[in-house]
Amino acid sequence: MNDDKPENSTKSNNAVVRMAAFAVLVIIILLIFQYQRGKSGLFSTGLDEDYASARISKSLDKVISERMGWNPIHLERYGEKIPDFTVTDINGKTHNLSDYHGKNVFIVMWATWCGPCMAEVPHLIALREIMSEDQLAILAISNEPVETVKAMAARKKLTYTVISHQDRLPSPLSEVRGIPCGFFIRPDGTLKIVTEGSLHLGEMKMIILAE
């Protein structure tokens, strides 16, 4: 009777090994599947249907599929004309969105207390350095008091347009769910993409240059 125990133990161990190997195989297949979905631009965040119907070029799709730390939002609004609006920067200058017709516009929703927003600042400064105001308008809008925003702009030596604005902006600019949030607008005034989360310089540049 005792002689059967090692044999039973061996069978049991073999069964465990087979089950573990099968589980690993399943995990590998799932990872490959998710990778292929990511490469095709369809990602597992519940946005597949909206993404498929969104107006996204191949070059922009590539940027999205290779993104790091951010997601595209408001996909159903891509291609829409953004309504004109007026804001005043921390130096008292008035800006209308229509003033920038014919240029790319990058609107950043941010706050001085937001860690990811502040992490994005060096990339925005670098973007301003490599793309002139004739090519790109950068409007960084915070709903904090102007004194708070102005102090941070001076401390960080911000080189792009910084705005304190508490009034409601037109949709979809008023529908920000989290910050930083970026609205990329084409020279013809239509919405290219909305990003939620921090972008690095390379991603900003690729989005602006994408069709």
pLDDT per 10-residue tile (average), the chain, 211 residues: 56 69 74 48 44 67 87 92 96 96 97 96 97 95 97 97 96 93 96 95 94 78
CATH topology of domain 57-209: Glutaredoxin (3.40.30)
pLDDT at 45: 42
pLDDT at 92: 96
pLDDT at 78: 92
Closest CA to 193 of 100, 98, 84, 106: 106
Rg, the chain, Cα only: 24
Torsion of CA 137, 139, 140, 142, to 10 degrees: 180
* Strand, helix or coil for residue 139: strand
